[in-house]
Amino acid sequence: MATREKNLSYYDESSIPDASGFRIGIVVSEWNPEITENLLQGARETLLKTGVKEENIQVWHVPGSFELIYGVKRMQKNIFIDAIIAIGSIIRGETPHFDYVCQATSQGIKDLNVHNDTPVIFCVLTDDTKQQAIDRSGGKHGNKGVDCAVAAVKMAWLKKNS
């Protein structure tokens, strides 16, 4: 696992641009809420810590990770946002469904990045077990939501300054 040697909650605060003027969207899957809500909490707290104003954080919920694509697409189209974080959790089960959902979700989010001007940050955990998801959503490996909030701020800065 790539996170074995990295704490997902660690970042160098001095490397973060001023985020006080940014509007950040978050689209969150309701599937595996004990995981996705922890990721949301980590992302929101980090955005606030980096200077994003509470009123400039827009959160939408969708039923599952597959639906993140449509939720992000609608957010890109309907409200001005500097970056969007797509939060989900897909845990391997007994059928190939895991593979299909992971592939479609990652490809869909990639397509949104290629075809639109608003950066979309992939904060979708794709784990073999629920324990791995717990470990990456505030457990022993930190919180991927923190890591993705930092990426969102950096990408919003890039969008505004390039």
One-letter amino acid for residue 103 of the chain: Q
C-beta neighbour count of 51 within 10 angstroms: 15
97 is catalytic: yes
Three-state SS across the chain?
Answer: CHHHHCCCCCCCHHHCCCCCCCCEEEEEECCCHHHHHHHHHHHHHHHHHCCCCHHHEEEEEECCCCCHHHHHHHHHHHCCCCEEEEEEEEECCCCCHHHHHHHHHHHHHHHHHHHCCCCEEEEEEEECCHHHHHHHEEECCEEHHHHHHHHHHHHHHHHHHC
- Catalytic-labelled residue, pool 61, 97, 115, 141: 97
Report the catalytic residues.
97
